[in-house]
Structure 1
Amino acid sequence: MVVPAPKACLRVQGTDIVDADGARVILKGCATGGHTNMENFITGYSGHETEMRAAMLEVLGRDKYEFFFDKFLEYFFTTADAKFLASLGINCVRIPINYRHFIDDLNPSVIKPDGFKLVDRIVNACAAEGLYTILDMHTFPGGQNQGWHSDSGIHKALFWDFKDFQDRMINLWVEIGKHYRGNTWVAGYNPMNEPGDPDHVNLQAFYRRAEKAIREVDPEHILFLDGNTYAMDFSAFKEVLPNCVYAIHDYATMGFPAGEPYVGTPEQKETLQKSYERKVEFMKAHSVPIWNGEFGPVYASQEDLDHETINRQRYALLGQQLTIYKADKISWSIWLYKDIGFQGMVHAAPSSAYVRLLKPFLDKKKRLGLDKWGRDDRHVAHIYAPVIQHFKDEIPAQFLNRRYPQQWKVEGHIHRVLRETLFSEILCWEYASYFEGKTWEELDELAASFKLENCARRDELNDILRADAGVRK
């Protein structure tokens, strides 16, 4: 049975998102991260998606390369996934997109129709189960931020320095607006994931330009606008654009290995509340809706010591964050739905062909702490400590932490260049070597590791989300 489409697009009314009848809609969802935008910790490669794909193409050859990735994209999100999410009471799915599905950098003026076919399949599968979708542009030419997930392969955000890059993405958003105009199952567009604008003014100029261009072809859909510096800073924002929701990302350090354990003390709860309140100050001051586009802890694996205690603490942390959001009646999207066992609501099973094949590489990558997301440095801290100290000894103190984002400090920038970029990109060839000589049948089985029926479910996490939605198990 197909769920009837909403009568009109969702829209902003004061501090609320409302439907055609003016009734408040609170979007509660998750992101299909690792699917239409692959990330290293989510599917296990090292470095950046573009480098990984190039290494895989070299190993597999064009035909097998296209077969494997087509199957991966097919299996990762199907109607079964949409049905499962609907069963939890989730009502919205955020779709992170790598712009390269739509634009070839060597032919940037042509929008590839295959990108729409890919995203349409997800939008339609979700709509059939009564789920809204938010289209999130997760990568940009040159990189809109300094992180691995912008898939730039570098440590600078060059997008802000080249009008040509900006023109390409405005053109892409216009075509997306044309394509999804009138589709009432699309809750809206998230024009840029986690911007990192060092000057704090280019982002707002881009938003004004994007809002104007999109509205000319699609006047109805909501825009979900991330704050600067990875959706955490609105201090330089000066205006509110019409029919826009403003978006934070609200990760808590207590949900990661480097953070203190969350035991629910009044002081820890106050820390969570203050962090949230700082991020949403702009929205509350201007009486506009809030969307938390990403949050959620990482989880210890069964191989980790005391993993049950660690995970109980992190589930409790998640529950406290949901309590904060419920008090303010904000919309949210947890990061993330599916991976290889690090953070997902479901994950490729340890017994799956993909995880079994890559187990030695995954163990090595974990030991080296190559992925920034949730890594544990205990095995390699002694290697990088002298390098960090060398920088501190030689750079005058007033310049040491001038590089944006300043929050990373010099340590973060060293790790970004040495580990997450150089070391990781070289290891892409090792990752790809595991696929060498695989038959068509073996490649299909590897991709099928991400089918929902072949995945393990993180029941404790899903139960928390189900309870928040008011759905009985």
Structure 2
Amino acid sequence: MVLTKNRVAGFVRAEGRKLVNGDGEELILRGVGLGSWFLPEGYMWKFPEQGDRPRRIERMIEELVGPEKAAQFWETYYDRYTAESDIRQIAKEGFNSIRIPINARAFIEDGEPVRFKANNVHRLDLVIDWCRQYNVYAILDLHGAPGGQTGANIDDSENDQPELFTNETYRRMTIELWRQLADRYKDEWIVAGYDLLNEPLPDWNAALNPQLMPLYKDIVKAIREVDRMHMIILEGAHWSTDWSIFDEMFDDNIQLQFHKYWNNPDTESIQKYIDGREQWNAPIFMGEGGENNIDWYSGAFCLFEDHDISWNFWTWKKMDTINSPCSVNRPAGWDRLTAYLTGGERPSAAEAEQILWEYLDNIALEKCTYHPEVVNALFRRAPVRIPAIFYGYQGEETGYHIGTKAAKNVGFRVNDGTDIRFIDSEREVANFQHNGGRPWNMDQRLYVQLAAGDWLAYDFTSGNSGSGDIGTSSYVVEVRVRVTDEQVGKGALTVSVDGRSIGAVQAEESEWTTVKLEEAAVLEAGHHRIVIEAAGGPVQVEWINIT
């Protein structure tokens, strides 16, 4: 995981399978999504289904405090949820891009002709200005198209139907919305690309799939009438995972996008997209992934890096969370709102206003609880804990060496021949096989077993490229190990960083033991590699912790 190809400079474009910046240098987009800003999602507010999308949240607030104060609420919300301090912090952390989800309802008036709502377009202009100031590319993502492209809460559908594909008015409005956005930003090099439709047409609406590519082509035709420079980003159907809808690359500046949640972070799980990159001769983008734990992040985002895939983490900010960088602190009395949504007692207007305005105070970055460990996991930046199963994805003799391949693997990365198993032996192994060999949940923990001579490599970074850190820092390495009952007293690992030995780990117990290396690693800011090699055993390893 070498965080190079990061420079923000000039218009982004596709050149064959690669992205390049305006100076022709290879580029990997490493970004974060601004979920719930222009398209508030109920789960990020800890709301039930009755408040799962913008129109339902808007209805609740207007019912409780009246239309005038509701309008005031939303003006303040849009101003505070994403502010200059957010973009500054995103850049400081080393991200080089953001993905901005747009809800058509928040940007254009109802019906035709398509006319922008001045306030939110001005806010979009502001965030693009901040992106230019702090050197962060912006991606415009139509998350909620007129009528809805998905037919679910995520696109603010009115009737849980993808009416974009069944109502010609919505189709015309979507094409015209993109034409006007492209005309407005045609000279803005800091805008990396136009993400035409987020997660269109899940499988239960697959009968409409034949309409998707013709719509993409019509949108691109309208964009190209006013803008020849910006990259076009196309998503597959069914939560962006089904690329069978692509029939041709009809423009010479296209990037293909997939999303990845919850399943195993292994090469097998994204192989079809890697194959698609070859088939279509186009760069690829993991445009949405997250909503898991930091162990998963340290594997999944390294996977994308090792395969030269741009990525965007979902999401920057939400309420009462430990798995996003910013956690909005839950206001006192918030449960009164959730109870009301499910048919409970209605809070008074004064009480509702107090709760909602406390929420508005809490959404500013400065009032959020910040979780640097989330960002560290995304970038594999020390201090970080790396599960042992997430060794390098670059292939044998680069990311790992296994002398005698396991006859039958349990777990994933089976093609590597490593012996990966669940910590909780038989019951969990049976559960794994029952689920087709591909489960992943928030609490899943696995270990890898190494025989003498086997080694695994783990790339990580120190310092912060985004803030320009230089100099050296001292790090301590811990390894979580055990041996089988038959190998008690016989297990050992050697540990090296950047080719220099920092000591050995004696794995002598059949119970899990955390062993701290006696010698610290003094490292300059930048990329590093830690290698563990079994000197006796077999040895079982759960994780490596760099602090």
Question: Quick one: structure 1 residues 240 and 106, their matched pair in 2 at CA, closer, same or farther if it must change by over 3 Å?
Answer: closer
Per-residue displacement from partner, 1:195-217 (whole Å, max 9, x unpaired)?
10523211101111111110111
Pairwise CA distance, 1:173: 0.6
Give the conservation status (yes or no) of the 8 Å contact 2:318–2:324.
yes
Which residue does the alignment assign to 2:329? Answer: 349
Give the conservation status (yes or no) of the 8 Å contact 1:48–1:153.
no
2:360 is equivalent to residue 447 of structure 1: yes
1-structure distance, mates of 2:10, 2:379? 27
Q: Larger helix proportion, structure 1 or 2?
A: 1
Per-residue displacement from partner, 1:163-213 (whole Å, max 9, x unpaired)?
111100111111100110110111111111001052321110111111111
Give the conservation status (yes or no) of the 8 Å contact 2:301–2:379.
no
Moved over 6 A (4+): 439-442
Pairwise CA distance, 1:324: 1.4
Question: Quick one: structure 1 residues 325 and 97, their matched pair in 2 at CA, closer, same or farther if it must change by over 3 Å?
Answer: same
Question: Quick one: structure 1 residues 104 and 168, their matched pair in 2 at CA, closer, same or farther if it must change by over 3 Å?
Answer: same
2:270 is equivalent to residue 276 of structure 1: yes
SS at match of 1:195: coil
Give the conservation status (yes or no) of the 8 Å contact 1:143–1:152.
yes
Which residue does the alignment assign to 1:306? Answer: none
Match of 1:31 among 23, 30, 33: 33
Question: Quick one: structure 1 residues 36 and 194, their matched pair in 2 at CA, closer, same or farther if it must change by over 3 Å?
Answer: same
Give the conservation status (yes or no) of the 8 Å contact 1:134–1:186.
yes
Pairwise CA distance, 1:463: 1.5
Match of 2:59 among 54, 59, 64: 54
Which residue does the alignment assign to 1:22? Answer: 24
> In structure 2, what residue type is equivalent to 1:472?
G
Question: Quick one: structure 1 residues 106 and 240, their matched pair in 2 at CA, closer, same or farther if it must change by over 3 Å?
Answer: closer
Q: Which runs of 5+ in 2 are unaligned?
A: 1-6, 382-459, 465-547
Give the conservation status (yes or no) of the 8 Å contact 1:147–1:155.
yes
2-structure distance, mates of 1:235, 1:280? 14
> In structure 1, what residue type is equivalent to 2:57?
M
Question: Quick one: structure 1 residues 63 and 91, their matched pair in 2 at CA, closer, same or farther if it must change by over 3 Å?
Answer: same
- Equivalent residues in 2 for 1:103-122 (5 A)? 103-106=108-111, 109-122=114-127
Match of 1:202 among 204, 211, 216: 211
2:315 is equivalent to residue 358 of structure 1: no
Match of 2:261 among 237, 246, 251: 251
2-structure distance, mates of 1:435, 1:248? 45
2:328 is equivalent to residue 328 of structure 1: no
Question: Quick one: structure 1 residues 331 and 103, their matched pair in 2 at CA, closer, same or farther if it must change by over 3 Å?
Answer: same
Pairwise CA distance, 1:72: 1.1
Give the conservation status (yes or no) of the 8 Å contact 1:88–1:466.
no
Which residue does the alignment assign to 1:472? Answer: 463
Pairwise CA distance, 1:106: 4.8
Pairwise CA distance, 1:59: 2.2
1-structure distance, mates of 2:365, 2:175? 35
Q: Larger strand proportion, structure 1 or 2?
A: 2
- Equivalent residues in 2 for 1:187-198 (5 A)? 187-196=192-201, 198=206
> In structure 1, what residue type is equivalent to 2:298?
G
Report how many aligned residue pairs link the two structures: 371
Question: Quick one: structure 1 residues 110 and 79, their matched pair in 2 at CA, closer, same or farther if it must change by over 3 Å?
Answer: closer
Rg comparison, structure with higher value: 2
SS at match of 1:110: coil
Question: Quick one: structure 1 residues 442 and 26, their matched pair in 2 at CA, closer, same or farther if it must change by over 3 Å?
Answer: same
Question: Quick one: structure 1 residues 6 and 459, their matched pair in 2 at CA, closer, same or farther if it must change by over 3 Å?
Answer: closer
Question: Quick one: structure 1 residues 428 and 81, their matched pair in 2 at CA, closer, same or farther if it must change by over 3 Å?
Answer: farther
Match of 2:376 among 445, 460, 463: 463
> In structure 2, what residue type is equivalent to 1:204?
M
2-structure distance, mates of 1:345, 1:247? 23
- Equivalent residues in 2 for 1:390-409 (5 A)? none
> In structure 2, what residue type is equivalent to 1:220?
M
2-structure distance, mates of 1:277, 1:30? 23
SS at match of 1:104: coil
> In structure 2, what residue type is equivalent to 1:339?
K
- Equivalent residues in 2 for 1:85-104 (5 A)? 85-104=90-109
2-structure distance, mates of 1:250, 1:151? 21
Q: TM-score, normalised by structure 2?
A: 0.64
Give the conservation status (yes or no) of the 8 Å contact 2:143–2:154.
yes
1-structure distance, mates of 2:244, 2:25? 31
2-structure distance, mates of 1:195, 1:441? 38
Which residue does the alignment assign to 2:229? Answer: 220
2-structure distance, mates of 1:439, 1:233? 43
Per-residue displacement from partner, 1:93-139 (whole Å, max 9, x unpaired)?
10001101222225553232223112112222222111110010101
Question: Quick one: structure 1 residues 435 and 344, their matched pair in 2 at CA, closer, same or farther if it must change by over 3 Å?
Answer: farther
Give the conservation status (yes or no) of the 8 Å contact 1:89–1:471.
no
2:283 is equivalent to residue 289 of structure 1: yes
Pairwise CA distance, 1:288: 0.7
Give the conservation status (yes or no) of the 8 Å contact 1:250–1:294.
yes
Pairwise CA distance, 1:55: 2.5
Question: Quick one: structure 1 residues 455 and 64, their matched pair in 2 at CA, closer, same or farther if it must change by over 3 Å?
Answer: same
Per-residue displacement from partner, 1:419-449 (whole Å, max 9, x unpaired)?
xxxxxxx927769x45722597875433121
Give the conservation status (yes or no) of the 8 Å contact 1:10–1:17.
yes
Q: Which has the higher contact order (CA 8 A, sep 6+)?
A: 1
Match of 2:89 among 77, 84, 89: 84
Which residue does the alignment assign to 1:64? Answer: 69
SS at match of 2:233: strand
Match of 2:163 among 153, 158, 162: 158
> In structure 1, what residue type is equivalent to 2:286?
N
SS at match of 1:332: strand
1-structure distance, mates of 2:168, 2:55? 22
Pairwise CA distance, 1:283: 2.3
